[in-house]
Amino acid sequence: MSGHSSYEFKNPVARWVDSRLPILTMIRAQGMEFPTPKNLNYWWTFGGILAVMMVIQIITGIVLVMHFTPEASMAFNSTEFIMRDVNYGWLLRYMHANGASMFFLAVYIHIFRGMYYGSHKAPREILWMLGVIILLVMMATSFMGYVLPWGQMSFWAAKVITNLFSAVPFFGETIVTWLWGGFSVDNATLQRFFSLHYLLPFVLVGLVVLHIWALHVPGNNNPTGVEVKSGQDTVAFHPYYTMKDLFAIVAFLVFYAAFVFFQPNLLGEPINYVPADPLVTPPHIVPEWYFLPYYAILRAIPDKLLGVIAMFASILILLALPWLDTSKVRSGTYRPIFRQFFWLLVLDSIVLGIVGANPPEGTWIIVGRIATFWYFAHFLIILPLVGLLETPRPLPSSISDAVLSKKKSQPQAAPGE
Amino acid sequence: MKLIGKTLSVLAVAALLAATPAFAAEDGRREARDIDFSFEGPFGTFDRAQLQRGYQVYAEVCASCHALRFLKFRNLGEPGGPEFSAAEIKAIAASFDVRDGPNSDGEMFQRSGIPSDAFVSPYPNDQAARAAFGGALPPDLSLITKARKGWEGTLASLYTAKMFKGSGGPEYIYSLLAGYQDPPADMPAGPEGAAYNPYFEAGPWIAMPPPLSDDGVTYGDGTKASVDQMARDVAAFLAWTAEPKMEARKRLGFQVLIYLAVLTVLLYLTKKAIWARIDH
Do B85 and B79 form a contact (C-beta atoms < 8 A)?
A: no
What pLDDT, on a 0 to 100 scale, did the predictor assign at position B10?
Answer: 63
What pLDDT, on a 0 to 100 scale, did the predictor assign at position B9?
Answer: 62
- At residue A374, does pLDDT exceed 50? yes
Question: pLDDT tens-digit profile of A126-161?
Answer: 999 999 999 999 999 999 999 999 999 999 999 999
Most distant CA atoms of chain B, gap in Å: 86
Q: Which of B12, B149, B274 sits opposite A347 (nearest CB)?
A: B12
From the CA of A171, how many Å to the nearest CA of chain B? 38
Quote the mean pLDDT of chain B.
Answer: 91
Residues of A in contact with B146 (CB under 8 A): 265, 270, 273
Residues B87-103, mean pLDDT to the nearest whole number: 95
Which stretch of DSSP H or E encloses residue A145? helix A125-147
> In 3D, which of A114, A131, A127 has the Cα closest to residue A225?
A114
More confident: B13 or A333: A333
What pLDDT, on a 0 to 100 scale, did the predictor assign at position A226?
Answer: 96
Do B199 and B175 form a contact (C-beta atoms < 8 A)?
A: yes
Do A56 and A99 form a contact (C-beta atoms < 8 A)?
A: yes
B257 C-beta neighbours (distance < 10 Å), count:
17
Question: Per the CB < 8 Å rule, is B260 touching A253?
Answer: yes
Which stretch of DSSP H or E encloses residue B196? strand B195-196
Question: Per the CB < 8 Å rule, is A273 touching B264?
Answer: no
Angle made by CA atoms B154, B14, B149, in degrees to the nearest 5: 5
Residues A270-281, mean pLDDT to the nearest whole number: 97
Question: Per the CB < 8 Å rule, is B1 touching A340?
Answer: yes
What pLDDT, on a 0 to 100 scale, did the predictor assign at position B162?
Answer: 75
What pLDDT, on a 0 to 100 scale, did the predictor assign at position B22?
Answer: 44
Coil/strand/helix, residue B270: helix
Residues of B in contact with A364 (CB under 8 A): 19
Do A404 and A224 form a contact (C-beta atoms < 8 A)?
A: no
Q: Which of B264, B265, B268 to mutate to test the interface with A (most CBs of A within 10 A)?
A: B264
Give the single-character DSSP code of B59: I
What pLDDT, on a 0 to 100 scale, did the predictor assign at position B126?
Answer: 93
**CATH 2.40.10 is right for the domain spanning A292-399:** no
pLDDT band at residue A332 under the 50/70/90 scheme = very high
Question: pLDDT tens-digit profile of A177-236?
Answer: 999 999 999 999 999 999 999 999 999 999 999 999 999 999 999 999 999 999 999 999
Question: Per the CB < 8 Å rule, is B5 touching A367?
Answer: no
Q: Which of A84, A266, A347 sits opposite B244 (nearest CB)?
A: A84
What pLDDT, on a 0 to 100 scale, did the predictor assign at position B280?
Answer: 82
> pTM (2 decimals)?
0.94
Domain boundaries, chain A: 34-285, 292-399
Residues of B in contact with A377 (CB under 8 A): none
- At residue B155, does pLDDT exceed 90? no
Residues B70-98, mean pLDDT to the nearest whole number: 97
Measured distance CA(A4)–CA(B66) in Å, rounded: 68
Residues of A in contact with B5 (CB under 8 A): 340, 343-344
pLDDT band at residue B121 under the 50/70/90 scheme = very high
What pLDDT, on a 0 to 100 scale, did the predictor assign at position B116?
Answer: 97
Do A212 and A384 form a contact (C-beta atoms < 8 A)?
A: no
Measured distance CA(A377)–CA(A385) in Å, rounded: 11
> In 3D, which of A261, A267, A363 has the Cα closest to residue B153?
A267
Do A33 and A5 form a contact (C-beta atoms < 8 A)?
A: yes
Question: Per the CB < 8 Å rule, is A39 touching B280?
Answer: yes
Question: Per the CB < 8 Å rule, is A354 touching B263?
Answer: no
Measured distance CA(A191)–CA(B263) in Å, rounded: 41
User: Where is average pLDDT lowest: A57-66, A336-345, B17-26?
Assistant: B17-26
Question: Per the CB < 8 Å rule, is A416 touching B142?
Answer: no
Do B229 and B132 form a contact (C-beta atoms < 8 A)?
A: no
- At residue B129, does pLDDT exceed 60? yes
Q: What percent of chain A has a predicted confidence (pLDDT) above 70?
A: 98
Question: Per the CB < 8 Å rule, is B253 touching A250?
Answer: no
Measured distance CA(A376)–CA(A194) in Å, rounded: 34
Nearest CA in chain A to B244: A84
What pLDDT, on a 0 to 100 scale, did the predictor assign at position B27?
Answer: 75
A24 CB burial (10 A radius; 0-12, 13-18, 19+): middle
From the CA of A72, how many Å to the nearest CA of chain B? 17
Coil/strand/helix, residue A238: helix
Nearest CA in chain A to B116: A85
Residues A97-102, mean pLDDT to the nearest whole number: 98
Measured distance CA(A199)–CA(A236) in Å, rounded: 35
Residues of A in contact with B147 (CB under 8 A): 270-271, 273-274
- At residue A406, does pLDDT exceed 90? no
Q: Which of B151, B164, B258, B274 to mutate to test the interface with A (most CBs of A within 10 A)?
A: B274
Question: Per the CB < 8 Å rule, is A273 touching B242?
Answer: yes
Give the single-character DSSP code of A101: H
CA torsion through residues A245, A225, A336, A324, sign: negative
Question: Per the CB < 8 Å rule, is B280 touching A403?
Answer: yes
Measured distance CA(A212)–CA(A131) in Å, rounded: 10
CATH architecture entry for A34-285 = Up-down Bundle (1.20)
Residues of B in contact with A292 (CB under 8 A): none
What pLDDT, on a 0 to 100 scale, did the predictor assign at position A416?
Answer: 47
Residues B245-251, mean pLDDT to the nearest whole number: 98
b or e along A110-133 (b: 16 or more beta carbons within 10 Å of the residue's beta carbon)?
bbbbbbbbbbbbeebeebbbbbbb
Do A298 and A371 form a contact (C-beta atoms < 8 A)?
A: no
Close Cβ partners of B114 (under 8 Å, ≥ 6 residues apart): B73, B90, B93, B94, B98
pLDDT band at residue B163 under the 50/70/90 scheme = confident
- At residue A1, does pLDDT exceed 50? no
Q: Which of A250, A336, A404 sits opposite B264 (nearest CB)?
A: A250
What pLDDT, on a 0 to 100 scale, did the predictor assign at position A4?
Answer: 77
Question: Per the CB < 8 Å rule, is A254 touching B261?
Answer: yes
What pLDDT, on a 0 to 100 scale, did the predictor assign at position B264?
Answer: 98
pLDDT band at residue A302 under the 50/70/90 scheme = very high
Measured distance CA(B222)–CA(A302) in Å, rounded: 62
Nearest CA in chain B to A37: B280
Q: What percent of chain A has a predicted confidence (pLDDT) above 90?
A: 95
Q: Which of A38, A261, A344 sits opposite B252 (nearest CB)?
A: A261
Measured distance CA(B62)–CA(A194) in Å, rounded: 37
Nearest CA in chain B to A269: B147
Q: At A361, phi and psi to the nearest 5?
A: -130, 155
Measured distance CA(B97)–CA(B89) in Å, rounded: 14
Question: pLDDT tens-digit profile of A25-46?
Answer: 999 999 999 999 999 999 999 9
Residue A287: asked if its preceding bond is cis (omega within 30°), the reply is no
pLDDT band at residue A6 under the 50/70/90 scheme = confident
From the CA of A257, how many Å to the nearest CA of chain B? 7
Quote the mean pLDDT of chain A.
Answer: 95
The neighbouring-strand residues paired with A137 are none
Question: Per the CB < 8 Å rule, is A417 touching B276?
Answer: yes
From the CA of B23, how many Å to the nearest CA of chain A? 13
Nearest CA in chain B to A151: B147
- At residue A417, does pLDDT exceed 50? no
Q: What percent of chain B has a predicted confidence (pLDDT) above 90?
A: 79
Do A79 and A68 form a contact (C-beta atoms < 8 A)?
A: yes
Residues A3-26, mean pLDDT to the nearest whole number: 92
- At residue B203, does pLDDT exceed 90? no
From the CA of B6, how many Å to the nearest CA of chain A? 9
- At residue B5, does pLDDT exceed 90? no
> In 3D, which of B89, B27, B22, B31 has the Cα closest to residue B55?
B89
SS3 content of chain A, % helix, strand, coil (to 5): 70, 0, 30
pLDDT band at residue A3 under the 50/70/90 scheme = low
Which stretch of DSSP H or E encloses residue A235? strand A234-236
Residues of A in contact with B143 (CB under 8 A): 80, 273-274
pLDDT band at residue B25 under the 50/70/90 scheme = low
A142 CB burial (10 A radius; 0-12, 13-18, 19+): buried
> In 3D, which of A234, A210, A228, A211 has the Cα closest to residue A34?
A234
